[in-house]
Amino acid sequence: EAGVVQSPRYKIIEKKQPVAFWCNPISGHNTLYWYLQNLGQGPELLIRYENEEAVDDSQLPKDRFSAERLKGVDSTLKIQPAELGDSAVYLCASSLGRGMAYNEQFFGPGTRLTVL
Amino acid sequence: AQRVTQPEKLLSVFKGAPVELKCNYSYSGSPELFWYVQYSRQRLQLLLRHISRESIKGFTADLNKGETSFHLKKPFAQEEDSAMYYCALGTGANNLFFGTGTRLTVIP
């Protein structure tokens, strides 16, 4: 079992360019999360999916960020256009889903984005 | 609103010494508390959660609702405990709110 898979691992772009991150959760995990982790901070939730439905996107800056999970499995997070302040690590996590006794989340390795 | 506070960004202890990583939370509902750990060049992973009341790698944490704390403790630190530790608060919505983390260094 590879765990949560994310790609790319690193991305360097110039400001105003678009960028996309991909995540494949653990098989059977219905809940998928995207987190933003700034340097020296803990992860902050951007969006949470239950299957293909975005059930919490209150922290997603919708003017430039978008996400999708069309078939309820893998997901893509996009930024367009990127700004200097978007430089951070973007983490994807998955869990078994709502109603489970434990909310253990399994994290991917993250994508480190640098915006120049 | 929910909040998790980890007052120490850095903590150094000698091998064999006791270690305590502090975590305080603020939440109006019934809290679920977790400790996540990130070892060097590894991904973030669950260390322990308060509802299981178990010891993992010698670490324990007790939820104190009166003091709204969930401090992580280990009586004898080992070099392999050096890592970044995050306290996290879970809400009924399956969301986790993380603290800013404490980097623990165990000095040989």
Classified as helix, coil or strand, A30 is coil
A25 touches chain B (CB under 8 A): no
Considering only residues B36 and A101, tell me which one the structure prediction assigns the higher pLDDT.
Answer: B36
Measure the CA–CA gap between A57 and B56, rounded to whole angstroms: 33
B68-82 tens-digit pLDDT: 999 999 999 999 999
Looking at residue B30, the DSSP 8-state letter turns out to be -
A10-36 tens-digit pLDDT: 999 999 999 999 999 999 899 999 999
Chain B residues with CB under 8 Å of a chain A CB are 4, 9, 32, 34, 43-46, 49, 51-52, 86, 88, 90, 93-101
Residues of A in contact with B4 (CB under 8 A): 42
Which residue bears the tokens 């603290």?
B99
- Whether A110 and B99 lie within 8 Å, measured CB to CB: no
- The answer to whether B71 and B26 have CB atoms below 8 angstroms apart is no
- Whether A42 and B32 lie within 8 Å, measured CB to CB: no
Mean confidence (pLDDT) of chain A: 92
- Indicate the pLDDT class of residue A106, thresholds 50, 70 and 90: very high
Q: What DSSP assignment string belongs to B35-101?
A: EEEE-TTS--EEEEEGGG---BTTBEE--BTTTTB--EEESS--GGG-EEEEEEEE-TTS-EEE---
- The answer to whether B5 and B20 have CB atoms below 8 angstroms apart is no
A vs B, Cβ pairs < 8 A, gives 54
Find the residue in B nearest to A58 (Cα). Answer: B95
- Indicate the pLDDT class of residue B13, thresholds 50, 70 and 90: very high
pLDDT reading at A101 higher than 60: no
Which pLDDT value is given to residue A78?
97
Interface test with A, best of B4, B36, B42, B94 (most A CBs within 10 A): B94
Which pLDDT value is given to residue A69?
95
